[in-house]
Amino acid sequence: MLSEDSADGEWAKAVADLRSYGIPEAAANADLLEIAGTKWAGLVVPRTSMASLLFTRLGDPFPFPVEVHVHWSEGTFEFRLNRGMLLVTADRCHQPNAPAVLDSFLMQIASLPEDPE
């Protein structure tokens, strides 16, 4: 497991990388990731691209058994929780509610039991 300092550093690097792109999608995702990092660093892994975020559990191998996808477009965040290839739940919201919605999705993947091998 990552140390708390290491996990915080990885989240901070992901936020900085997103901000460096200079596009609205990346900036919105950076803002959300920065807020989430205070609670979730060391518990889930953020994987980023310019337009989206992917969260997985620590230690889960690829293909990830559970994941949360976050996508921002024109002021709206879309959240999708997948287990394997199946969509479990999804939601959309605007910026003010995004941290709370993300928390509820990350709580779901963090609390799921690990899949048996």
Number of domains in the chain: 1
Q: Is residue 116 part of a domain?
A: no
Q: Is residue 81 part of a domain?
A: yes
What are the φ and ψ backbone dihedral angles of 86, each rounded to 5 degrees? -100, 135
What pLDDT is stored for residue 2 in this prediction? 40
Radius of gyration, alpha carbons of the chain: 13
- The DSSP symbol for 18 reads H
Q: Is residue 72 part of a domain?
A: yes
* Cα–Cα nearest to 46, from 117, 102, 114: 102
Q: Is residue 117 part of a domain?
A: no
Q: Is residue 46 part of a domain?
A: yes
Q: Is residue 104 part of a domain?
A: yes
Per-residue pLDDT of the chain (117 residues), as tens digits, is: 344 456 678 899 999 999 999 999 999 999 999 999 999 998 999 999 888 999 999 899 999 999 999 999 989 999 999 999 999 999 999 999 999 999 999 999 998 766 544
Work out the number of other CB atoms within 10 angstroms of the CB of residue 62.
7
What pLDDT is stored for residue 8 in this prediction? 74
**16, two tokens:** 């900085």
Domain that holds residue 78: 4-111
- What element of type H or E holds 82? strand 76-83
